[in-house]
Structure formats: C-alpha cells, structure tokens
Structure 1
Amino acid sequence: MISAIVHELEPVLLVGGGKYRKSGLKAAEGRFRRIVVADGGADWLLSRGYEPDMVIGDLDSISDSALTRLGPERVHRVDEQDSTDFEKCLVRIDAPLVLGAGFLGGRVDHELAALHVLAALPAQRCVLIGRDDIVFLAPPEMRLDLARGTRVSLFPLGQVRAKSQGLRWEVNEVRFDTSSKIGTSNEALGPVELSVEAANMLVILPRSALGLALEALSTSGGGWPPRKAS
C-alpha cells in the first residue's frame, strides 16, 4: 500500500501538465491551501509566481532549474512507469478534496487516463477542472443545489444503478453501463439529489457549477472505500 506524503485538512490544488491549466487555476483560486504539482507542471506554475508545496512524478519533464529552486524537500521522485503522473500524485495526497487543473483537454488518451484514475481511487474525492466543464466521481449520495436548466451529464465507467430527483429525465433504477446506457446531456429542474450504488459514475457539470459541486461533495457524508487490489 502506498503511503500519503501530503497531509492536509483543507482542499489541495493539484496541477498537471495539460491544457487549460490557467483557467483551472483561476476557477480554483481561493478554494485551496496547498499546491501539489505533477512533474513538469512545476515549471509552468513557477513562471506564474506560485510556489508548489510538493512536486511528485517520474521527473522526466521538469527542468533542472526548477529542481534546484524547489530543493529536495519539495520533490518526490516516483520511478515506476505503471501509472500516470496524475495517479502518482493523487494516491499520495491525504486531503478531504483535491482540485485538479491541467488534466482535461488536449490529448484524448491523457484525458481518458485521468478519468480512469477517478474511478480507480474512489476514496479520494477529486474534481477535475477543464475549460468548460468539471468532472468528478459521484459519491454514494449527494445533493446539488443547481439552477434550473443547468446541464447535468452522467457517464458510467462500469455497471452502476442510479436514482435521482430533480432531473428533467429521471434515472431511477436505470442500469448504466459504458457499452449500453449512458446519461449525458440531462438537465436540472432545480436542486438535484443523486444516489449511486457503486463507485463507477462520473458527474459532468459546467465549470460555473464548481462552487456548488464542492459544497455538495463536502456535505455528502460517507464516501467510497478504497478499491480492493485485484
């Protein structure tokens, strides 16, 4: 089992090396206390006047000047190549919530890998922030105080049943599966209540709903346990 190296009682910002980091950083402003960076994202962050608390990754894209500036106490090398830098970071953060910027958009394979990690590490609540959307793994139960007309998309990463109240097209007892039934482009009629039976459902909302999503995740009670190793 991998032990956390970043411990925080408040949300943590995790910055990656992908597109739309600037818009993600702006949206997250004022909502985090510490910053963790995935590998080469450190150079970008430093160039914008931010000091990361920790850099985690295989360090194949960070500059020598950034490594020198940060010093060994703020750099954690992970040499294995079986996981992405996003996963290397997320599994080593112990915080009530992680805000991820720089993981959505750009290369499709990188984006899909990041979404996979959300489901692979369900015990760590994490919201990925893109240019237009936010994405997070649905907890067992949650209430989103959304305005009428807000776009709500549900996308399964495996088999999962869901129940809802407050959606234009309710999903009560619908059996979702990536290959047969998804729930994209739904719409809120007002506050939405959602419950799912397994840690396999992504919720996709407009980026403007970030604050409401963070509030909902912070007040949703019990979360998912870690997945058992196969």
Structure 2
Amino acid sequence: MAPRPSDAVPADELAAAAAGGVLQLEALAARYPKDPSIFRALMLRHALPPPYHAAALAAAKRLLELDPGATADDDVKRVVSSAAGGPPEAASAALDLMATGMGSHGADLLYELSIGSSALKERAAKRLAEAAVLARATPALRVAHELRAAPSCKARQALLGRATADGDRRAIDALTPLVSSKSKGCGFLGMSRCAAPCASIAKEIKAAIQAIEARVGPSPGAADAPESR
C-alpha cells in the first residue's frame, strides 16, 4: 500500500539515510511514520551481520502493519525466519509474528519449521496447529499439514481427494514416503525388505501424487517412488 504523498519520504532522503545507518533511518522514521519503505530499510539494516533480531522484527512488524502485502516479500520472510533461529526471545517473537501477523505466508513459514530439524520444530508445529493460524493458511498448506498429522493410512486415505484437488509439492513430499519401501531393515536380523508404510492404499496414493504433479510439476529432483509390495 503506497503512502499518501504527504506521508512518503522523498527517495533521495531515504537513500541518504540508508547510507548513513540506523540512527539516520530511525530519525527519518520518526518524521515519516506512515511510510513502509523506511521500515523495510530499517528491517534490512538491522538484519545485517551481526543481526539485531529484536529491532529487525520490530521494523518488520511495523512494515506489515503499514503494508500487509509485504507478507509476500522474500526479504521479510528471510528476516523473520532468521530471527526464529536467534536467541530465545527473538525466536518467540518471530514465531508470534508468523502466527499472527503474516497471513498465509506466516503459516507457510511455520510449516517449514515444523518439518525441519531445528530446535523450534515442536514449537512451530504447535503454533501451526492453532485454529486461527490454519484458518489463514492456504488449502494447499492445510492438506499437507493434515497429511503429516494424520494418525493412520486410513486417515490419510480420506484426505487424498483434497490432496488431489488442492495439494502442491508439500503434499507430494508428505505422500511419497508412504509408498516407498526399504531394501532392508525388517524381518530376521533386519535383512528383509520393508513394505511401504501404506502399501495397502499405495495405488490410490500414487494416483494422487501423479494428479498433483500434473498440476504443479514434480518435486525438484524427485524420482519415481519404489514399488511397494
């Protein structure tokens, strides 16, 4: 959302303040508190190594208040995700901003954290599971989340129709391991082949994967899932 002309900082002043550093940007923000471009510049400045996560998040939050469309900005997502890996207070603030201030893009970030290996995995999953967060998520994100959270193959089977219609690569990534067998690890001494986790509905799952791929393309580097038996 563009500020009114009277609220917008002149481009040359913004460039000079950005070159001058944080103090000049903060002084400019006090003069033009409704121009999101200043807060974007402040966010990026605070995110420079070594990052000052708390200040970067505060600037990001103000930017999003002034320009809700900035939730799709790759720099905003990068800064907030980086803060999630920072000190505990910054991590909590980042998760809160993802859950409450970034719409569907915040839910996407929480999902990526919830399936990753960071220490925030469980906390991100808990925030993602909140009804208000899922209500703002895209249909593609919701079905991917439900596929991973489903307690059984039967429960996942009930989601295949939605996955086919709404799913994206995240759904493919959730479904593919369910039809992938292992060459060994089962039976006597673990030397026997392991059946796919959901071998009984493998045909339906593979059909859903193929339908999703027909819409969005295969996952990068994806190979055909091994045949289950």
TM-score range, shorter chain: under 0.3
**Bigger helix share:** 2
Does 1 or 2 have the higher relative contact order (CA < 8 Å, sep 6+)?
1
Of structures 1 and 2, the larger Rg is shown by 2
Using structure 1 for the length normalisation, give the TM-score: 0.28
Using structure 2 for the length normalisation, give the TM-score: 0.28
